[in-house]
A = this chain, B = another copy of it.
Amino acid sequence: MQSTIVDLNQLLAPVKPEMQLVDTWLTSNLIDDNNFVSDLLSQVFKSGGKRLRPALTIVSSKASLKDGDEISRLHIILAVLTELIHTASLVHDDVIDQASLRRGESTVNKKWNDKLAVLIGDLLFAQASICLARLMNPQIVGIYGQVLGDLCAGEIKQMRQQFSTSVDWDTYIRKSVNKTASLFAAGCQSSAILNRREEDVVASLKSYGVNLGVCFQIVDDLLDVTGNTDQLGKAAGSDLANGVVTAPALFVLEQNDAHANRLKELINTRAVSESDGLAEALSIICQAGGIEKTVQLATKYAQAAKQNLDCLSASTYKDSLAAIADYLLVRTN
């Protein structure tokens, strides 16, 4: 049996030099020579985060290189813009959700205020647009334009479904693709486009990204139930408290039994937003088998992602892409 690598740093060691370039680019002021802008960028990115999306973009770039080709500045920019969009959307999401903790630190809205958080999110989107322009590739511009739309559509869907228990799996998966998987897929797909790969390789890497992204979202939902605040770097149970029906909750709700009815009641009456109601809801989810079924669903998407890699020739980087899918299933933050 193959051992699962659980340390992301170890997993990403082969792309460490590229990831250092990504980190430098992330805080580069591409707009003007205003020091305040540069300082804001440094402050936003100093709290770290896993840099999973840019890492995935770099690994995917390396795994899909044509023989004799090497990774270029364009691949680095692609990775940077993927992380910029992700961070911009987090900053705005935290304003929308009034969140105060992210990546183990105060959120931008908490540290400064909502107004500066709106502006910093816009600033990050602007930096991403400048990166996108530097790629000089209309097809990739189209992909990321759609990603921005998907992120908004996903957030709007989630906002409109708050405290509603009539969510079904189709709605859940589409929202997860919009909110999360679309950006994962964009990085993977675009890396193959930069490498001038055949359409089937581009399509397979897109599917890998979609499956991996849905898997990531399902595990995120799981950690919202099973994780603790220290581990997560954000408030545990916050999705449920905000009335977001996550995968473990959905598994319980569809059982249509006493557990389901009580959980429905706790969500519909917004009792989940209070600590007692939240504790009861989390306990019901655990008792009613929501955790196990969610793990199985995440595993299914991780396996699908690994199958999408069949189109690539054998390489360390292909192995890393498969290992990232395994890692997502055991990650704890």
Contacts and interface: CB of A to CB of B under 8 A. Distances in A.
B34 A153 contact: yes
A330 interface: no
A133 B123 contact: no
Contacts of A89: 122
A258 interface: no
Contacts of A148: 122, 125-126, 129-130
A72 interface: no
A159 B37 CA distance: 12
A103 interface: no
A133 B156 contact: no
Given A95-B118, A136-B138, A138-B137, A130 B156 contact: no
Contacts of A8: none
A118 B92 contact: yes
Identical chains bound together, number:
2
Given A37-B153, A92-B118, A138-B138, 9 more contacts: A31-B146, A32-B178, A34-B156, A114-B114, A123-B149, A130-B145, A133-B138, A133-B141, A137-B138
Interface in A119-144: 119, 121-123, 125-127, 129-134, 136-138, 141-142, 144
A171 to B, nearest CB: 11
A46 interface: no
A119 B145 contact: no
A150 B32 CA distance: 8
Interface string A29-44: 0111010110010000
Max count, chain B CB within 10 A of own CB: residue among A118, A142, A150, A160: A118
A151 interface: yes
A110 interface: no
A318 to B, nearest CB: 30
